[in-house]
Amino acid sequence: MLHVLVSGLATGSIYALVALSLVIVYNATRTVNFAQGEMFMVSTFVAWSVVRAGAPLGVAVVAALVGAAALGFVIERLVIRRAIAATHWDVLIITLGVSLVLKAGAGIAWTNDEFPFPSYFGDRPIAVGPVRVAPVSLGIVGASIVLMGALYALLRFTRFGRAMRAVAQNQTAASLMGISVPRVFSAAWMLAAVVGAVAGVLIAPVVFLSTKMGLIVINGFIAAVLGGFGSMPGAILGGMLLGVLENLAPLYLPTSIRYSVPFLVLIAILVLRPSGLVGRVERRKV
Amino acid sequence: MRRTGLVGLVALVTIVWPFVVPPYVVFLTTLMLVNGIVAIGLNLLTGYTNQLSFGHAGFVAIGAYTGALVTIHAPALPVPFTLLLAGLVTALVGLALGIPCLRLEGLYLAMATLAFGFVVLEAILNLDWLTRGADGLRVPPPSLVTIPLTSEIARYFLVAAVTVVMVAAATSLVRTRTGRAFLAIRESEIAAQASGVDVARYKTVAFVVSAFYTGVAGGLFAFVVGFLSPDGFDVFVSVDYLVMVIVGGLASVPGSLVGAAVVTLLNDWLARFQNYRPLIFGGVLVAVMLFMPGGIASAAAARRRR
């Protein structure tokens, strides 16, 4: 029971990181990036290629993060920036197109097979108080918490973080205060891609690496909606909750329920409380 | 006068077509028309009313399985009733989905319809006593009163006849008060509400009508391909339908048909290059959104005006 909870938190951390990367882009640009999952998958494949070329794992992880930032920069600059005047609906469709291109591109570059990914942690379970847990679960949770802390510090205490929060609040006012809004857009895409890449290299040793990995973006969305789309603490809470629910449900219900859990959660939250657990209702004007 | 001539020409080509082209082309044309009906249904919801759906493959699946099961268990029922039943069952599901979706918009609606698509697939897999689950379901040929429609050409005429009715109905619908209400909701829900449009009611209507169209097309699809399995209705199929609507042109009935034709042909040509298919579809999607936002229909309209 308790070790299920821990592995639920590990899965949940990954969902939380994906949800965070969606929320970072959403807060800065008010658009939802459907390609986030595929960007995460491509950066993980970059890490894998570097490992296969003989480099140590640490170098591979750095390469994945740099690659992710570059990918985020290029997509924002070449595609999304051109549609800056389009509606959110249009941008959603554009990111859907980008995600198809990335998935197919990865399939051509790395084939659609599944590959094992080297692990950073040992296999021997560690005893934490009364429970024995897999080191990889603890590693994922620990690394995620460190990253979330770093993200908080970045947004809270740096000039750049303040600029991002200002743009999230009011684009016009932010640009009148001398903040370069396009630069913030660009930075948000890169930051989100890096956060996603961390989630990718963390989860890759647990699930096999394949071009299907990008589908995790759906669970990331659900986590973000569960918490309240646009709220960063909400994204973390939603991710953790979803991970735990997904791991606990098969204990009490038929095992086949596991893959339906995210969707049942989504439907429940949309019917009961569409603004999410900690979200606020947005007021819109005509 | 010119219009009558054009309609006559189209009718003549439609009738002569299956007798002059090879059988495979007849099959492809039939599939194009079936996809065209789905695209019209999706366009009524997404193009006219601005309600994004990522779950239309789920509606197609419900229509297809309803059509197939009715034909298996009641082989004597004439095909128009089977199709009507497929449409009505799907419309009922559309109503059940549409009412909770009234509270949602934009991304949330997209997510809910996406979830709906997955739930339909899971249901088909798990109700295997009815649907034969992952093994797939063989569909017997439909019958018109007592004559079974076994040949490719017979199926073509069935689909063509249904398409004519559906296109005529959609073209009329968008010109009525209901169609104008859809467009008002698309432009701005708040402004529509302020002008006296019952937004909740018309959004529900859009959902139900869209589901009905898609369900009828699903029934036809079952007869055209003759074999149904759940993996033929996954989320990427829903994306294909969206591509049809966007490429053809949002809020355009003829555009939906053109978009369906383009996507069906592309799918057929790219069948040997499975890996490149999404690459090209994704590229087309991005290019159309960036450079030709109204799709083929509005590009053609702009040319005519010039």
Q: What range does the domain containing A85 cover?
A: 21-213
> What is the pLDDT of chain B when averaged over all its residues?
88
Flag whether A138 is in a domain. yes
- Write down the pLDDT at residue B214: 96
**pLDDT tens column, A198-236:** 888 888 888 878 888 888 888 898 899 888 888 888 899
Contact yes or no for B246 and A218 at CB 8 A? no
Contact yes or no for B52 and A89 at CB 8 A? yes
**pLDDT tens column, A254-274:** 776 677 788 888 878 877 877
DSSP B46: I
| Average pLDDT of the segment spanning B103-126 | 83
Of the candidates A274, A4, A9, A286, which has an alpha carbon nearest to the alpha carbon of residue A139?
A9
Residues 40-99 of B with CB under 8 A from A: 50, 52
Phi and psi angles of residue A123, each rounded to the nearest 5 degrees, phi first? -95, -20
User: Is pLDDT above 50 for A286?
Assistant: no
User: Is pLDDT above 80 for A193?
Assistant: yes
Flag whether B202 is in a domain. yes
Contact yes or no for A266 and B242 at CB 8 A? no
Flag whether B65 is in a domain. yes
- Pick B285's closest partner by Cβ from A97, A259, A271: A97
**pLDDT tens column, A45-68:** 998 898 888 888 888 889 999 999
Flag whether B52 is in a domain. yes
Q: Does B277 touch chain A (CB under 8 A)?
A: yes
Q: How many residues does chain B have?
A: 306
Question: Under the phi-then-psi rule, with left for phi > 0, alpha for psi from -120 to 50, and beta for the rest, what region is A275?
Answer: alpha
Flag whether A202 is in a domain. yes
Give the span between the Cα atoms of B160 and B172, in whole angstroms: 18
Flag whether B116 is in a domain. yes
- Write down the pLDDT at residue B1: 57
Give the span between the Cα atoms of B28 and B268, in whole angstroms: 8
Flag whether A66 is in a domain. yes
Flag whether B244 is in a domain. no
Contact yes or no for B111 and A222 at CB 8 A? yes
- Write down the pLDDT at residue A114: 82
Percent of chain A scored above 70 by pLDDT? 94
- Write down the pLDDT at residue A282: 56
Flag whether A63 is in a domain. yes
Percent of chain B scored above 70 by pLDDT? 99
User: Is pLDDT above 90 for B217?
Assistant: yes
Percent of chain A scored above 90 by pLDDT? 17
- Pick A270's closest partner by Cβ from B112, B126, B293: B112
* Interface size, chain A vs chain B, as Cβ–Cβ contacts under 8 Å: 106
Flag whether A76 is in a domain. yes
Tell me the nearest-neighbour CA distance from A202 into chain B, angstroms. 26
Q: Does A56 touch chain B (CB under 8 A)?
A: no
Residues of A in contact with B276 (CB under 8 A): 104, 108
For residue A140, which amino acid is it? I
Of the candidates B214, B201, B300, B301, which has an alpha carbon nearest to the alpha carbon of residue B260?
B214
Flag whether A231 is in a domain. no
How many domains, chain A?
A: 1
User: Is pLDDT above 70 for A285?
Assistant: no
| Average pLDDT of the segment spanning A108-133 | 76
Per the CB < 8 A criterion, the answer to whether A266 and B111 are in contact is yes
Flag whether B183 is in a domain. yes
Contact yes or no for B281 and A93 at CB 8 A? no
Contact yes or no for A32 and B107 at CB 8 A? yes
Flag whether B207 is in a domain. yes
Cα→Cα distances A73→A70, A189, A221, Å: 5, 6, 22
Beta bridge partners of A131: A128
Flag whether A13 is in a domain. no
- Write down the pLDDT at residue A218: 86
Residues of A in contact with B110 (CB under 8 A): 92
Q: Does B284 touch chain A (CB under 8 A)?
A: yes
| Average pLDDT of the segment spanning A91-106 | 89
Three-state secondary structure string covering chain A: CHHHHHHHHHHHHHHHHHHHHHHHHHHHHCCCCCCHHHHHHHHHHHHHHHHHCCCCHHHHHHHHHHHHHHHHHHHHHHCHHHHCCCCHHHHHHHHHHHHHHHHHHHHHHHCCCCECCCCCCCCCCEEECCEEECHHHHHHHHHHHHHHHHHHHHHHHCHHHHHHHHHHHCHHHHHHCCCCHHHHHHHHHHHHHHHHHHHHHHHCCCCCECHHHHHHHHHHHHHHHHHCCCCHHHHHHHHHHHHHHHHHHHHHCCHHHHHHHHHHHHHHHHHHCCCCCCCCCCCCCC
Contact yes or no for B282 and A259 at CB 8 A? no
What count of other Cβ atoms lies within 10 Å of the Cβ of residue B273?
A: 12
How many domains, chain B?
A: 1
Q: Does B126 touch chain A (CB under 8 A)?
A: yes
